[in-house]
Amino acid sequence: MRFDRANDRIIAMLDDGSWDSAPNMISPSLNMPETFGTVMRKDWRFLSLACAAMITVAAIAMGISVEMANHMSTTELQALLVNYPAF
C-alpha cells in the first residue's frame, strides 16, 4: 500500500495481484468505530452504577458466607468444605 501524493489517493495491491485506488479522505458522516475513550465518555454513569452494584452484591455474598462459617461448628464446616462440589 502506498500514498500517491500527486493525486491524493491511496493505492493498494489486492490479494489477487490487481491494483486498486481510493481517495484519501474520510467522509464527515462516516461512523467511526467505538474506542475505549468514547465508551467511557458516553457511558461512565451506567458503568459506574453497574460496578457499584456488582461490588455490593459481592460484599453481601462474602459477608453471608463469612457469617455462615462463623456460626457452624468445626465438624459441620469441615464436612461442608470436603463435600462441596467445586468443579
Alpha carbons 8 and 1: distance in angstroms, whole number: 14
The whole-number average pLDDT for the span 14-31 is: 80
* pLDDT, average across residues 28-57: 87
Residue 28: pLDDT over 80 = no
E runs forming strands in 1-87: 2-4, 9-13, 19-23
With beta carbons less than 8 A apart as the criterion, state whether 30 and 23 touch: no
Cβ atoms 21, 10 nearer than 8 A: yes
pLDDT (tens digit per residue) in 66-87: 888 787 777 877 777 777 776 5
| Residue 59: predicted pLDDT | 96
Q: What are the grid coordinates assigned to 24, written together?
A: 484519501
Residue 62 pLDDT: 92
Residue 45 pLDDT class (50, 70, 90 cuts): very high
